[in-house]
Amino acid sequence: MENGARPRPAAARDRRFRREGVGANMIQAIHTQVEGRARFRIEGLFGSEHLKRVLEQRLFREKDIVSVSANILTGNLLVNFNSNNNHHSIGFLLEDILVEVHEKGLPAIPPAEPLEPKARPSPARKLPVETLKRFLSPEAEGPAHLQKPWHTLDASAAAAIVRTDARTGLAAGEAAERLKAYGHNELPKPEPRSGAEIFFQQLNSLPVMLLGAAAGISVLTGGLLDAAVIGGVVLANAVIGYFTESGAEKSMESLKDLVHPTAEVIREGRPVHLAVEEVTVGDLLVLKPGTYVAADSRIISADRLSIDESMLTGESLPVHKEPARLRHENTPLADRANMVYMGTLVTGGQGLAVVVAVGRFTQVGMLQALLAETQTPPTPIELQLARMGNQLVMACGAICGVVFGIGFLRGYGLVQMLQMSISLAASAVPEGLPAAATINFAMGITDLRRHGVLVRKLQAVETLGAVQTICLDKTGTITENRMAVTEILAGRTRYAVVGDTFGPAPDGRDVLAIGEIRHLLIVCALCNEIKITVDKESGAVNLFGSSTETALMRVAAATGIDIAGLQEDFRFVGLRLRAENRLYMSSLHSCPSEDCRYIFSKGSPHDVLDLCNREMVDGR
């Protein structure tokens, strides 16, 4: 022993080992670079001959273990194993052994010392070794990653494999480490077209190439004026196309900064709102109506949960979700009822799910990668212009060749006939056609931009002009995801709302003096899932929640409703969310001064009206 330190008595060492508890935090893999060999640091092994014998005897019983050696002087354990294992599966095995030692193999703790609660074996240990190796392998590029069948695992096993607590989620420090390891939860961004690429795309057509070749030959043969005219037409065509398309490209890039989606996760037992990019593997994702799923996740709990997966599967109706495991690995994506996928929309109920894949490793990330490899088909006008250009080039080439051959055979000079052929080719090819087409396309793009429509490629204008019906996606995909109240119907009277504030009432009264409106705004202020935060520096109030509820809360606050005071008086007791077969939500609140409770409901007008048996008239 160093510095003359004495080894602790065995009983004391065993008591220390028992007090510190058993779990994955007592096992640290310190050397795993050599295949089939791993070295672990086991807390409690230092100086404990008893634990050394237990570990060696138990590991020798495993058929896949080749050799094992425990060192009580260093507290390290060296394990050699066959190819059916890896250091992750050995770690689960060690965890089970330590649990068994904790429960059965050590002397009892004296009554004066409190007993630790019994540790439970990891649910992942019950899985076959091959399955563990498959799920614990490093992240693979391409479709290999998506072959991990998370839907075939129990929810507890899935949480154990990603090393997260199914109740409290990740610790802040662990989440930061995983964010570094897995990267930000964002899809690969396609590279924008460079200025040079946009410019040279304007020259990528056969008629333009023929004109360029004609200009080059004119320079070589002394026809500088002809070359200047032809080159000017080609350059003007390219410049017009370049400035038009580059402007659209910049506008589209700026649109990416308009929407900043957020997600709600459980970390250290508390709900946390953060940017979607900060969600990482192992996070507990809170699923609520009106929110988008931030990452591919395995459902842990669900209450009437339904998800709109139309963007991924094409299924128009919401899909009911539940946490029960599925037996078959080859279950189609649309039938995996215990999984939720990035980009899908929660339409009803509520649930909790553990994140198993982020960013490019998600299903939608793989789809985006496949789409990026797909070549964009040419537009109809591009096909027509290319066909006409090819025909003109072939016809002009044949005619010029015949003229050149006849003149040369009749004794005309080589340079003279070459200049004549070039002049004939330049006059036969409609050099104004590319410029005319480009100018027309640019005028169309400019006109559409004035109406708020951005077109990325010039030739797409012709295709867009042939469109008769446009089917738009949901709010938040091609919009700002910001709802606004424009009109309120209360007391059988319509009231206009502009910029979150009411216009003048028909009879000139203050809107808050109208009982129907006041009670309606109170319900909006109390029956919601909005989280309110106040910026300490600026004092600005921030609302976090669905866009619809946020819009209703903004109107209530702008009208003068004391939301904080209401929430203080009517204490929140419970919430029942909207579901697929119940198109309204209800919240339960205690009364401010009486021994009673209020239920506030909002949702589909037909469903809410079916719950009512009275009508408020003149505020009563």
Q: At 338, is the pLDDT very low, low, confident or very high (cuts 50, 70, 90)?
A: very high
| Average of per-residue pLDDT values in the chain | 76
Evaluate whether 512 touches 504 at the Cβ level (below 8 Å).
no
Q: At 295, is the pLDDT very low, low, confident or very high (cuts 50, 70, 90)?
A: very high
Q: At 284, is the pLDDT very low, low, confident or very high (cuts 50, 70, 90)?
A: very high
Whether 556 shows a pLDDT value over 60: the answer reads: yes
In this structure, what token pair is assigned to residue 87? 């250091």
CATH of domain 181-188+261-372: 2.70.150.10
What DSSP letter does each residue of 148-192 carry, written as one string?
A: --GGGS-HHHHHHHTT-BTTTBB-HHHHHHHHHHH--S-PPPPPP
Determine the Cα–Cα distance for residues 522 and 565; give it in Å rounded to an integer. 11
Residue 579's pLDDT is 75
Q: Within 13 A of 113's CA, how many CA atoms are on the CB side?
A: 12
Among candidate residues 438, 378, 380, 379, the one with its CA nearest the CA of residue 241: 438
In this structure, what token pair is assigned to residue 96? 């089970």
Residue 354's pLDDT is 94
Q: At 429, is the pLDDT very low, low, confident or very high (cuts 50, 70, 90)?
A: low
Residue 20's pLDDT is 40
Q: Where are the domains of the chain?
A: 2-137, 181-188+261-372, 195-255+376-443, 487-610
Evaluate whether 116 touches 21 at the Cβ level (below 8 Å).
yes
Determine the Cα–Cα distance for residues 71 and 65; give it in Å rounded to an integer. 17
* Residue bearing the bigger pLDDT, 34 or 479: 34
Residue 241's pLDDT is 74
**pTM, to two decimals:** 0.55
Return the number of other C-beta atoms located less than 10 Å from residue 117's C-beta: 7
Beta bridge partners of 270: 267
Residue 88's pLDDT is 80
Q: At 339, is the pLDDT very low, low, confident or very high (cuts 50, 70, 90)?
A: very high
Determine the Cα–Cα distance for residues 595 and 296; give it in Å rounded to an integer. 45
Determine the Cα–Cα distance for residues 80 and 65; give it in Å rounded to an integer. 6
Residues 516-551 have pLDDT tens digits of 888 898 898 899 888 777 766 776 777 776 778 888
* 2-137, CATH topology level: Ribosomal Protein S8; Chain: A, domain 1 (3.30.1370)
Catalytic residues, which ones? Answer: 473
- Strands 597-603, 262-267: pairing kind: unpaired
Neighbouring residues of 599: CB distance < 8 A, sequence distance ≥ 6: 586, 587, 588, 589
Whether 126 shows a pLDDT value over 70: the answer reads: no
Strands (E), 218-344: 262-267, 270-275, 284-287, 296-308, 319-320, 339-340
Residue 5's pLDDT is 36
Among candidate residues 69, 66, 61, the one with its CA nearest the CA of residue 45: 69
Residues 182-192 have pLDDT tens digits of 888 988 776 76
Buried b / exposed e over 415-426, threshold 16 CB at 10 Å, is: eebbbebbebbb
Q: What is the mean pLDDT of residues 384-395?
A: 75
One-letter identity of residue 187: L
Whether 162 shows a pLDDT value over 80: the answer reads: yes
Buried b / exposed e over 134-157, threshold 16 CB at 10 Å, is: ebbeebeeeeebbebbbbbbbbbb
Q: Maximum CA pair distance of the chain?
A: 123
Q: What is the mean pLDDT of residues 344-357?
A: 88
* Residue bearing the bigger pLDDT, 122 or 614: 614
Q: What is the mean pLDDT of residues 455-465?
A: 71
Evaluate whether 536 touches 553 at the Cβ level (below 8 Å).
no
* Residue bearing the bigger pLDDT, 3 or 327: 327
Judge: domain 487-610, CATH 3.40.470.10: no
Q: What is the mean pLDDT of residues 382-402?
A: 76
Q: At 141, is the pLDDT very low, low, confident or very high (cuts 50, 70, 90)?
A: very low
* Residue bearing the bigger pLDDT, 108 or 461: 461
Residues 67-92 have pLDDT tens digits of 788 888 888 888 887 766 778 888 88
- Percentage, residues of the chain above pLDDT 70: 76
